[in-house]
C-alpha cells in the first residue's frame, strides 16, 4: 500500500462528485488510482487504494491491520475493493467507506450499461450506412413502399432510372411512375409479391420505358408484412429487339403487311370462330398481272415501290376486319370472314381489281397492273388456312389464264361456283354500264281503291333493256345489286326518274296520285330524307305525290335509327308503305311503333286466295290488324276477279295487279290516266 501524496481532505458530497468525474473521464489504472486517492481523501488516510477484480467473493467489509477494506459490487458481483490505512479507524470511518463503495458500484454499473448501449447503437448506425451504400452501389433500382403504395425508400439506381431524386420520390404514391392507367397491376403487386413482370413506366422526362419488375414483401421485426420491395431494371432495348424480331418473323419488310406465317395464324383463328358460328369464310389469292414485266424492264426499285403502293390500295379497299397479307413477290392474300354467301367474295375481288384501275405514277412512269384472283371457300374447299391458300392459288392460276377478259380475272376453286360467279360478274359490270348508258327504264303499275274504283297510286318498277339480251327482269339484277352495293346508284336513278315523271304529270294538271318508289335496306340511311327533300325541291314536286315502299328487312336494323329516318320522311309529307308484308319476321309489337301509312300484303298470299284457306286467313288477319293499327292495306298481285271479291269482302282498301293493270311504260300509263282509269264496278 503506497503513501499517497498529500491529498486535500474531502467530504462525502465532494468525493461523490469526484467519483462521478473519474468514472466518466478515466479508464483502467488511471481510474483505479484516482478512486484510491478519493478514498484516502475522504477518510483522511495516508494510504488509499482501489483494487479491481472480476467476480471474486470478497467479503463486503473487513478490518485490516492498521486499516479498512470495503468490497465494491455491481449487478450483485464483486468488481473490486477499497483499502485505506495509516491511522486508527473507527466505526464511523467504516460507514463512510461503505457509502463510497456503494456509490462507486452504482456509477460503474450505470456507466457500463450506457457504454454498451452507445456501442450497440453505433453498430446499428454503421450497419444501416453499409446497407444503403450497398443499395446505392448496385445498378438495379430498388425502392420500397408501404402497403398503400407510398414510397418509403429510393436508391441511387432508382434516381438514375427515373430521374427523380430520393427527395422527390419518397412519400409519393408509386402510381405516379405508371405509364398506363394499369391499376390492376398495382393489385397484382399487393397480392402476389415475388412475381416477376414486364411493365411500362414513365421517367421524369416523360419518356416511357419497359422495365422488368420483381417484388418481394417487406416485413417488420415481428414478421408482419408492412410493404413491398421493388427491383426494377430497364429492358427497353431487349423489348425493342424482340419487337424487331417479331416484326421480321411475321411481317413482310417491303410492304409492312403480315406475311404468310401470320396470315395462316390469323386465318386459322378466324376459322375456329367461323366454325362455332357456322358462318362461311373465303381466302383470296391475288397475283398482279404484268408485274414481272415492269420489274424486269424498269428495275427493282420501281417494282418495290409499285408493290408498296398496291399493298396500300388493297388495305384501303378492304374493311378493317378483313386480313390482307403479302405472300412475297407480286402475290397477296386476303381473308374474309363472317360471310353469309360465298359469292360476296367476288364483290371483294372486284373491289381489289378496281383498286388497281388508276395508274401508278412511279419514277415518271404511268404504270398499270391488273390482278388475277383465286378464291377458296371455307368449309367446302378446306378446313385450314394452308389448304385454303393452296386451293386459292390453284384457282388464281385458272383466273390468270383468262386474265385478258375483265370478267374472267377471278375464279373460284370449285368449277360450279365459277359458273354462277361469271354470270353474276357479267350482270354486275353490265349493270354499271347500263346506269350510264340509258338502258334502265321505269314502268308504272296502277293501284286502285277497291271501294270507289278510283286510281289512287302507282308503283314505279325498274326495267333493264339490255341491248343484246332484251328485257331483264328486276329479280335477276336487283338482289345482285343489293349485295354489291350497286343498288344505291340504281335506287338514286329510280328516285330521280320517278320524281321527274311525276313532276311532268303534276305540271300537266292530271289528278294527283301517290307514285311509289321501292327503297332497299341499303338505301335506308340517315341521308335518305335529305336526298328525297332535295329531289322534290329540284323537280318542284308536291310531297303528297311521292311514296316510299320499304321491305320488312329494312326494319330489322337499328330500330331507333329506322324510326328516326321514318319520322323525317313523314315530316316531309312523303308516305311510307311496308312492302311484301307477311314474308319477313317483323315483330308485331314493333310494328305499331313504325310511322307507316300502308301495309302491302305480299303477292304470295294473294295468289292462294280464295282456294288456300291459310292464305285467306293470313290476308284477312293482315287486313283487320292493319285497320286496327290505323294503316291502309293494299294487296299486290291481284290477278283474278275471285281474288278481288274476296279482298273487297275482307275490307281491303286497295289492290294492285295484272287483273286491271300491268306495269306500263310512262306514255301508256299516261294514256290510262287521261282516260280516267277506274276499276269496273
Ligand atoms: P315488288 O316491289 O313487290 O313489286 C311488285 C312486283 O310484282 C313487280 O315485279 C310487279 O311487276 C309484280 N306484279 C304486280 N302485279 C302482279 C301480278 O298480278 N302478277 C304477277 N305475277 N306479278 C305482279 P317486278 O317489276 O318484277 O319487280 C320485282 C321486284 O323487284 C319488286 O317487288 C321489287 O322488290 C324489286 N324492284 C323493282 N323495281 C325496283 C326499284 O326500282 N328499286 C328497288 N329497290 N327494287 C325494285
Ligand atoms: Mg314494291
Ligand atoms: Mg311487293
Burial (CB count within 10 angstroms: exposed 0-12, middle 13-18, buried 19+), residue 42: buried
* Section 558-584 average pLDDT: 91
**pLDDT band with cut points at 50, 70 and 90 for residue 189:** low
The span from the CA of 285 to the CA of 297, in Å, is 25
What is the CATH superfamily name and number for domain 251-413?
A: Reverse transcriptase/Diguanylate cyclase domain (3.30.70.270)
Q: Which residues share a beta bridge with 287?
A: 331, 372
DSSP of 64-97: ETTEEEEEEEETTEEEEEEEEESS---HHHHHHH
Q: How large a percentage of the chain has pLDDT more than 90?
A: 58
Residues with CB under 6 A from ligand 1: 445, 461-462, 473-475, 478, 487, 491, 494, 518, 520, 549, 579-580, 603, 636-639, 656-658, 663
Task: Please tell me the number of the ligand nearest to residue 600's CA.
Answer: 3
Between 423 and 450, where is the model more confident?
450
Does residue 176 surpass a pLDDT of 60? Answer: yes
The span from the CA of 198 to the CA of 188, in Å, is 12
CA 551 to centroid of ligand 2, rounded, Å: 8
What pLDDT sits at residue 569? Answer: 97
Does residue 434 surpass a pLDDT of 90? Answer: yes
Give nearest CA residue, ligand 1 atom 25: 461
What pLDDT sits at residue 325? Answer: 97
Ligand 1 pocket test target in 441, 471, 478, 582 with most atoms within 8 Å of CB: 478
What pLDDT sits at residue 525? Answer: 92
Domains 12-116 and 251-413 share a fold: no
474-489 per-position pLDDT tens digit: 998 998 888 778 899 9
Q: CATH second-level architecture of 12-116?
A: 2-Layer Sandwich (3.30)
What phi, psi does 629 have (nearest 5°)?
Answer: -80, 0
531-543 per-position pLDDT tens digit: 999 999 999 999 9
Give nearest CA residue, ligand 1 atom 12: 637
Ligand 1 pocket test target in 474, 516, 578 with most atoms within 8 Å of CB: 474
Give nearest CA residue, ligand 1 atom 19: 637
47-83 per-position pLDDT tens digit: 999 999 876 766 666 666 778 999 998 888 888 999 9
Ligand 1 pocket test target in 440, 443, 518 with most atoms within 8 Å of CB: 518
Q: How large a percentage of the chain has pLDDT more than 70?
A: 93
E-assigned strand segments in 381-426: 410-412
**pLDDT band with cut points at 50, 70 and 90 for residue 408:** low
Task: Please tell me the number of the ligand nearest to residue 661's CA.
Answer: 1
* Section 414-430 average pLDDT: 77
225-279 per-position pLDDT tens digit: 888 899 999 998 998 898 888 888 999 999 999 999 999 999 999 999 999 988 8
Does residue 401 surpass a pLDDT of 70? Answer: yes
What pLDDT sits at residue 151? Answer: 93
Task: Please tell me the number of the ligand nearest to residue 446's CA.
Answer: 1
Atom of ligand 1 lying closest to residue 443 CA: 25
Ligand 1 pocket test target in 440, 461, 608 with most atoms within 8 Å of CB: 461
What pLDDT sits at residue 4? Answer: 45
Does residue 8 surpass a pLDDT of 70? Answer: no
The span from the CA of 670 to the CA of 444, in Å, is 9
Do residues 85 and 67 lie in contact, with contact meaning Cβ atoms separated by under 8 Å?
yes
CA 287 to centroid of ligand 3, rounded, Å: 43
CA 338 to centroid of ligand 2, rounded, Å: 30
Cβ count within 10 A of residue 518? 23
CA 461 to centroid of ligand 1, rounded, Å: 6
CA 554 to centroid of ligand 3, rounded, Å: 14
CA 544 to centroid of ligand 2, rounded, Å: 18
Choose the CATH number for 140-239 among 3.40.50.2000, 3.30.450.20, 3.40.50.970, 3.40.50.10810: 3.30.450.20
Does residue 404 surpass a pLDDT of 80? Answer: no
Atom of ligand 1 lying closest to residue 520 CA: 44
Does residue 645 surpass a pLDDT of 90? Answer: yes
CA 596 to centroid of ligand 2, rounded, Å: 14
Between 468 and 406, where is the model more confident?
468
Three-state DSSP class for residue 57? coil
CA 560 to centroid of ligand 2, rounded, Å: 23
**pLDDT band with cut points at 50, 70 and 90 for residue 590:** confident
The span from the CA of 292 to the CA of 308, in Å, is 15
What pLDDT sits at residue 3? Answer: 47
The span from the CA of 180 to the CA of 631, in Å, is 57
Give nearest CA residue, ligand 1 atom 21: 637
Give nearest CA residue, ligand 1 atom 23: 637
Highest mean pLDDT among 14-18, 125-129, 632-636: 632-636
Atom of ligand 1 lying closest to residue 663 CA: 11
Task: Please tell me the number of the ligand nearest to residue 474's CA.
Answer: 1
What pLDDT sits at residue 402? Answer: 67
Q: Do the bridges between strand 67-74 and strand 61-64 make them parallel or antiparallel, or are there none, so unpaired?
A: antiparallel
Give nearest CA residue, ligand 1 atom 33: 518
Three-state DSSP class for residue 679? coil
Atom of ligand 1 lying closest to residue 580 CA: 3
Give nearest CA residue, ligand 1 atom 24: 474
Taking each helix axis as running N to C, give the angle between helix 12-25 and helix 28-42, from 0 to 180 degrees, rounded to the nearest 10: 180
Ligand 1 pocket test target in 603, 604, 634, 641 with most atoms within 8 Å of CB: 603
The H or E element that residue 492 is part of is: helix 487-507
How far CA 569 is from CA of 45, 231, 512, in Å, comes to 130, 66, 19
Between 549 and 240, where is the model more confident?
549
Give nearest CA residue, ligand 1 atom 2: 518
Which cell numbers hold the place of 608? 292462294
pTM exceeding the 0.85 threshold for the entire prediction: no
Instruction: Give the list of residues 6+ apart from residue 508 with CB closer than 8 angstroms, or none.
Output: none
What pLDDT sits at residue 2? Answer: 43
What phi, psi does 577 have (nearest 5°)?
Answer: -130, 155
Task: Please tell me the number of the ligand nearest to residue 549's CA.
Answer: 2
* Section 412-416 average pLDDT: 83
Mean pLDDT of all residues in the chain? 89
Task: Please tell me the number of the ligand nearest to residue 656's CA.
Answer: 1
Q: CATH second-level architecture of 435-670?
A: Alpha-Beta Barrel (3.20)
Task: Please tell me the number of the ligand nearest to residue 637's CA.
Answer: 1
Annotated domain spans of the chain: 12-116, 140-239, 251-413, 435-670
Which cell numbers hold the place of 11? 467530504
How far CA 307 is from CA of 316, 324, 352, 373, in Å, comes to 14, 13, 14, 16
* Section 281-286 average pLDDT: 96
**pLDDT band with cut points at 50, 70 and 90 for residue 331:** very high
Amino acid at each position: 500500500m503506497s503513501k499517497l501524496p498529500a491529498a486535500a481532505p474531502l467530504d462525502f458530497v465532494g468525493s461523490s462528485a469526484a467519483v462521478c468525474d473519474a468514472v466518466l473521464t478515466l479508464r483502467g489504472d488511471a481510474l483505479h488510482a484516482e478512486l484510491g486517492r478519493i478514498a484516502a481523501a475522504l477518510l483522511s488516510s495516508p494510504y488509499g487504494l482501489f483494487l479491481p477484480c472480476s467476480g471474486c467473493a470478497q467479503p463486503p467489509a473487513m478490518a485490516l491491520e492498521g486499516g479498512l477494506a470495503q468490497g465494491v459490487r455491481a449487478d450483485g458481483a464483486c468488481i473490486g475493493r477499497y483499502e485505506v490505512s495509516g491511522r486508527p479507524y473507527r466505526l464511523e470511518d467504516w460507514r463512510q467507506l461503505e457509502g463510497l463503495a456503494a456509490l462507486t458500484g452504482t456509477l460503474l454499473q450505470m456507466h457500463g450499461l450506457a457504454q454498451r448501449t452507445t456501442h450497440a447503437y453505433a453498430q446499428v448506425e454503421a450497419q444501416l450506412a453499409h446497407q444503403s451504400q450497398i443499395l446505392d452501389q448496385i445498378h438495379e433500382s430498388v425502392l420500397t413502399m408501404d402497403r398503400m403504395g407510398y414510397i418509403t425508400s429510393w436508391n441511387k439506381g432508382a434516381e438514375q432510372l427515373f430521374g427523380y431524386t430520393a427527395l422527390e420520390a419518397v412519400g409519393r404514391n408509386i402510381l405516379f411512375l405508371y405509364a398506363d392507367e394499369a391499376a390492376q397491376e398495382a393489385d397484382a403487386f399487393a397480392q402476389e409479391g415475388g412475381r416477376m413482370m414486364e411493365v411500362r413506366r414513365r421517367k421524369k422526362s416523360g419518356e416511357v420505358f419497359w422495365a422488368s419488375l420483381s417484388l418481394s414483401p417487406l416485413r417488420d421485426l415481428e414478421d408482419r408484412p408492412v410493404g413491398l420491395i421493388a427491383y426494377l431494371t430497364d429492358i427497353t432495348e431487349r423489348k425493342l429487339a424482340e419487337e424487331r424480331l417479331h416484326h421480321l418473323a411475321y411481317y413482310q419488310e417491303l410492304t409492312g403487311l403480315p406475311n404468310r406465317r401470320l396470315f395462316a395464324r390469323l386465318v386459322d383463328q378466324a376459322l375456329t370462330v367461323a366454325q362455332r358460328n357456322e358462318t362461311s369464310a373465303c381466302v383470296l389469292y391475288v397475283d398482279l398481272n404484268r408485274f414481272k414485266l415492269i420489274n424486269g424492264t424498269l428495275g427493282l426499285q420501281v417494282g418495290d415501290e409499285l408493290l408498296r403502293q398496291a399493298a396500300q390500295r388493297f388495305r384501303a379497299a378492304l374493311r378493317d376486319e378483313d386480313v390482307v397479307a403479302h405472300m412475297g413477290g407480286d402475290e397477296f392474300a386476303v381473308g374474309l370472314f363472317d360471310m353469309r354467301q360465298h359469292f360476296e367474295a367476288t364483290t371483294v375481288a372486284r373491289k381489289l381489281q378496281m383498286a388497281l384501275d388508276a395508274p401508278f405514277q412511279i419514277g415518271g412512269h404511268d404504270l398499270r397492273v391488273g390482278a388475277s384472283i383465286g378464291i377458296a371457300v371455307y368449309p367446302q374447299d378446306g378446313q385450314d388456312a394452308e389448304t385454303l391458300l393452296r386451293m386459292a392459288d390453284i384457282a388464281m392460276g385458272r383466273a390468270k389464264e383468262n386474265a385478258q377478259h375483265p370478267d374472267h380475272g377471278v375464279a373460284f376453286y370449285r368449277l360450279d361456283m365459277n359458273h354462277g360467279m361469271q354470270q353474276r360478274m357479267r350482270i354486275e359490270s353490265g349493270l354499271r354500264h347500263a346506269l350510264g348508258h340509258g338502258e334502265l327504264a321505269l314502268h308504272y303499275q296502277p293501284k286502285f281503291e277497291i271501294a270507289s274504283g278510283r286510281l289512287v297510286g302507282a308503283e314505279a318498277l325498274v326495267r333493264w333493256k339490255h341491248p343484246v339480251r332484251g328485257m331483264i327482269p328486276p329479280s335477276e339484277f336487283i338482289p345482285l345489286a343489293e349485295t354489291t352495293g350497286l343498288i344505291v346508284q340504281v335506287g338514286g336513278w329510280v328516285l330521280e326518274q320517278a320524281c321527274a315523271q311525276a313532276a311532268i304529270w303534276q305540271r300537266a294538271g292530271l289528278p294527283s296520285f301517290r307514285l311509289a318508289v321501292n327503297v332497299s335496306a341499303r338505301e335506308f340511311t340517315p341521308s335518305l330524307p335529305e336526298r328525297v327533300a332535295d329531289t322534290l325541291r329540284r323537280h318542284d314536286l308536291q310531297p303528297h305525290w311521292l311514296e316510299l315502299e320499304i321491305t320488312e328487312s329494312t326494319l330489322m336494323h337499328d330500330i331507333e335509327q329506322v324510326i328516326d329516318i321514318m319520322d323525317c320522311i313523314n315530316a316531309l309529307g312523303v308516305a311510307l308503305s311496308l312492302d311484301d308484308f307477311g314474308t319477313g319476321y317483323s315483330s308485331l309489337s314493333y310494328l305499331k311503333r313504325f310511322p307507316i301509312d300502308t301495309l302491302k300484303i305480299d303477292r304470295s298470299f294473294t295468289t292462294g286466295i280464295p282456294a288456300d284457306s291459310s292464305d285467306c286467313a293470313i290476308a284477312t288477319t293482315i287486313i283487320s290488324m292493319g285497320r286496327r293499327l290505323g294503316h291502309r292495306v293494299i294487296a299486290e298481285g291481284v290477278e283474278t276477279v275471285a281474288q278481288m271479291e274476296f279482298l273487297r269482302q275482307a275490307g281491303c282498301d286497295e289492290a294492285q295487279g295484272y287483273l286491271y293493270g300491268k306495269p306500263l311504260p310512262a306514255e301508256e300509263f299516261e294514256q290510262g290516266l287521261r282516260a280516267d282509269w277506274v276499276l269496273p264496278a
